[in-house]
Amino acid sequence: MFKGIVIEKDAEGYRASVQEMDETHLPAGDVTVRIEYSTLNYKDALAITGKGPVVRSFPMVPGIDFAGVVEQSDHLEFKPGDRVVLNGWGVGEAHWGGLAQRARIRGDWLIPLPERFSAKQAMAIGTAGYTAMLCVMALERHGLTAGAGPVLVTGANGGVGSFAIALLANLGYQVVASTGRPNESEYLRRLGATEVIDRKELSEPGKPMQKEKWLAAVDSVGSHTLANVCAQTRYGGAVAACGMAQGLDFPASVAPFILRGVALLGVDSVMRPKADRLAAWERLARDLRGPILEDIAGEIPLGQAIDAAGKLMRGEVRGRLIVNPNV
């Protein structure tokens, strides 16, 4: 038996609860993992609260991340005792996920846990840090170099934003953080932000072309925020877009793209090829320095994750929440 969060939808409605389950209920897969730590992401909060159409089949165990130890394997690359990490691949949406003590998945979705990180540290990073690293790598491929100008990070207090600030600062960039919680400015400066601005400067409808401010940006917000960020990006600059906290819409014009040569770089973390995942985690192991994980992440037991999902949706969570399913 093992415990996990189960989301159900039936004639009685939509609900999430912690339940005891038998391993025979686990879905098909060639690797079974004993989960040591998982996380609570924005997408997990959408799934648990029912605020977004995330879950595609019921019942569903949410959790788009986990790190743990292989217990059984019919996959050539993994054997019992191997330490592994998983991000994305529709886990927690269409396939039972990581907010539980056990998971059975396809071995092709796993990568080895980098030696530098414990399972807890890997989940302090989670999909948020992994996505932030993919954004930084996308900007680097576009030609971003430190010292050429300020880089904006929106949604700065969230998981992706927090890691984007830390990674960019560690790499020598001047980072400007946009947040709706100015009382968290000291936290953002500890991560490496040199300036903190109010998100109100970006969240309302704006002109198609505005004063050039940013060399580049990492945006996890979308909607009017992303439109204004593009309108304020310097000639030849780039914006890595990876989220939709404000909305899925993009009320912008083509002006920044055809008059200033601004590049909008879409960053997907869910279905990335294994080579990209390995490269991103290798960079995380190299480029994350200092006590950042302790500052960004807090730990909660599985039993508190459902309540915490509501707090995350209300914008009351700073940084990352690690979930320990074994307490």
Per-residue pLDDT at 294: 82
Do 198 and 146 belong to one domain? yes
Decide if 272 is inside a domain: no
Per-residue pLDDT at 190: 93
Do 91 and 62 belong to one domain? yes
Do 107 and 188 belong to one domain? no
Decide if 78 is inside a domain: yes
In this structure, what CATH number is given to the domain that contains residue 306? 3.90.180.10
Per-residue pLDDT at 186: 95
Sign of CA dihedral 227, 233, 238, 239: negative
User: What residue numbers bound the domain in which 320 lies?
Assistant: 2-113+290-324
Please name every residue paired with 177 in a beta bridge, in sequence order, or none if there are none.
153, 196
Do 61 and 174 belong to one domain? no
Point out the domain boundary residue: 230, 251, 266: 266
Strand-pair category, 13-21 with 2-10: antiparallel
Number of domains comprising the chain? 2
In this structure, what CATH number is given to the domain that contains residue 149? 3.40.50.720
Tokens of 61: 């165990």
Do 36 and 70 belong to one domain? yes
Decide if 282 is inside a domain: no
Decide if 219 is inside a domain: yes
Sign of CA dihedral 180, 186, 190, 192: positive
Q: How many whole angstroms separate alpha carbon 273 and alpha carbon 253?
A: 32
Q: For the chain, how big is the Rg over CA atoms in Å?
A: 20
| Residue for token pair 């600062």 | 169
Do 108 and 132 belong to one domain? no
Do 240 and 131 belong to one domain? yes
Decide if 10 is inside a domain: yes
Do 301 and 180 belong to one domain? no
Per-residue pLDDT at 98: 97
Do 302 and 246 belong to one domain? no
Asked if residue 156 lies in contact with residue 195, where contact means CB atoms within 8 angstroms, the answer is no
Decide if 176 is inside a domain: yes
pTM of the model: 0.93
Decide if 94 is inside a domain: yes
Q: What is the pLDDT along the chain (327 residues), one digit of tens a residue?
A: 999 999 999 998 999 999 999 999 999 999 999 999 999 999 999 999 999 899 999 999 999 999 999 999 999 999 999 999 999 999 999 999 999 999 999 999 999 999 999 999 999 999 999 999 999 999 999 999 999 999 999 999 988 999 999 999 999 999 999 999 988 899 999 999 999 999 999 999 999 999 999 999 999 999 999 999 999 999 999 999 999 989 999 999 999 999 999 999 999 999 999 999 999 999 999 999 877 788 888 999 999 999 999 999 998 888 889 999 998
Do 87 and 172 belong to one domain? no
Long-range contacts made by residues 224-228, C-beta under 8 angstroms, separation at least 24? 224/251, 225/154, 225/178, 225/199, 226/154, 226/250, 226/252, 227/251, 227/252, 228/201, 228/202, 228/203
Point out the domain boundary residue: 250, 266, 282: 266
Decide if 275 is inside a domain: no
| Residue for token pair 């074994």 | 326
Do 242 and 135 belong to one domain? yes
Do 168 and 243 belong to one domain? yes
How many beta carbons lie within 10 A of that of residue 108, not counting itself? 12
Per-residue pLDDT at 265: 98
Per-residue pLDDT at 150: 98
